[in-house]
Amino acid sequence: MIHGGEIHDKRIDLDFSVNLNPAGCPAKVRNALLEAAGHVGEYPDIDQKSFRIKTAMAENKLAGGGFIGKGNVFGGNGASELIMAVIRLVAPKKVLLPVPSFYGYMHAVKSLGDAQLSGYRLDSVSNFCLGEDFPDLITKDTDLVILGNPNNPTGRCIEEKLLERIVLRCSSCGCALVIDECFLHLSVGGTSSIRYLNSCCKLFVIDAYTKLFSIPGARVGYVISSEENIGKLRALLPEWNMSVFAQKAGEACAEVILEGDFVETSCRLAECVRGRMERDFKEIGFEAFSSDTNFILVYSDKRLYDFLLERGILIRDCSNFAGLSKGYYRFAVKDEESYERMKECFAFLT
């Protein structure tokens, strides 16, 4: 397993391997997907105009300012397509990224063939937080820095002052910076880096409606950068790289953000359930590491993956993450009922 959600060859009743919003998908977004079926005989808007305008407005609301406009946003077939496209655009020779982190970063870098990867080791002693020394490792020889904010699978956001130091360091060194914010709007205490677009000309922010709106099957990602960078990036992407379904769903997601408090309510729910899970895991005897978002990294000498899979529950075995080892597992924060059903299984764990 290199990603969560690999359910198609297994009997799964509860999937705790995929980190989706425990609040689920709003009716407005589901309805938009259904209504999009009426447009399958039409090409989607090749310029994504409505999607880009609404997404920019939604991001500005969440970041608390008018930081971006339509020209700073472009959509994609999930965040993965855009991560790959940005790395192809930068074409780095030397890349710095935390270890462990999302497998997709390494996958994209390795697709270049000759890029050199330098890993910054996160450790359990520091609760997998990015250290104050990280900016000092960025030099004029560094072509690209890749960060998750929050990081996956560790769940920690980058402290705001440290984030600013990293941005400014990349700018002064002429280094490109990719920041993955796919879980940021389900996190507590994180700061969006879109406010730094004018401080770093090679900053690319990757995001998606996938996790926040529980629509991984729709593949709705977007990248935020300068208008010049967006123009260059579009030249590397397929035409019509967003389907009618993806565009309509994405527009509805942005409207939900603009019209109400869905994000705030979702964050409160995730925080509440996450707190219970962390406390319960520790009582059971797992080592549960603090998280800022909707998943938790744990360590146990028990064979948790196999134990739960036998009971129809899928979690993420993290032993194949660079920087982790056998015994590390990631649990998604799901709704209360799903969590209680999983928790009952631990009574049989020996």
Note if the bond before 44 is cis, omega within 30 degrees. Answer: no
Q: Alpha-carbon distance 198 to 294, whole Å?
A: 30
Q: Which long-range contacts (CB under 8 A, 24 or more apart) does 346-350 make?
A: 346/284, 349/284, 349/302, 349/304, 349/307
pLDDT digit string (tens) for the chain, length 350 residues: 555 556 556 788 999 999 999 999 999 999 999 999 999 999 999 999 999 999 999 999 999 999 999 999 999 999 999 999 999 999 999 999 999 999 999 999 999 988 999 999 999 999 999 999 999 999 999 999 999 999 999 999 999 999 999 999 999 999 999 999 999 999 998 999 999 999 999 999 999 999 999 999 999 999 999 999 999 999 999 999 999 999 999 999 999 999 999 999 999 999 999 999 999 999 999 999 999 999 999 999 999 999 999 999 999 999 999 999 999 999 999 999 999 999 999 988 87
Tokens (6 digits) for 161: 């002052």
pLDDT at 1: 52
Rounded Cα distance between 41 and 29, Å, is 21
Residue type, 128: F
Domain 27-259 matching CATH 3.80.10.10: the answer reads no
Instruction: Assess whether the previous peptide bond of 153 is cis (omega < 30° from 0).
Output: yes
Residue 5: the pLDDT is 57
Q: What is the distance between the alpha carbons of residues 284 and 238, in angstroms, rounded to a whole number?
A: 49
Report d(CA 292, CA 108) in Å as an integer: 26
pLDDT at res. 2: 56
Is the Cα dihedral 1, 190, 100, 194 positive or negative? Answer: positive
In sequence order, the 6+-apart residues with CB closer than 8 A to the CB of 223 are 73, 74, 76, 82, 85, 86, 204, 205, 206, 207, 230, 233
Q: Is 95 helix (H, G, I), strand (E, B) or coil?
A: strand
The SS3 call for residue 273 is helix
Q: In CATH, which of 3.30.830.10, 3.50.50.60, 3.40.50.1000, 3.90.1150.10 is domain 14-24+262-348?
A: 3.90.1150.10
Helical (H) or strand (E) element with 276: helix 262-284
Q: Break the chain into its structural domains and give their ranges.
A: 14-24+262-348, 27-259
Residue 3 is predicted with a pLDDT of: 53
Q: List residues bridging with 96 in a β-sheet.
A: 118, 145
Q: What is the pLDDT of residue 11?
A: 83
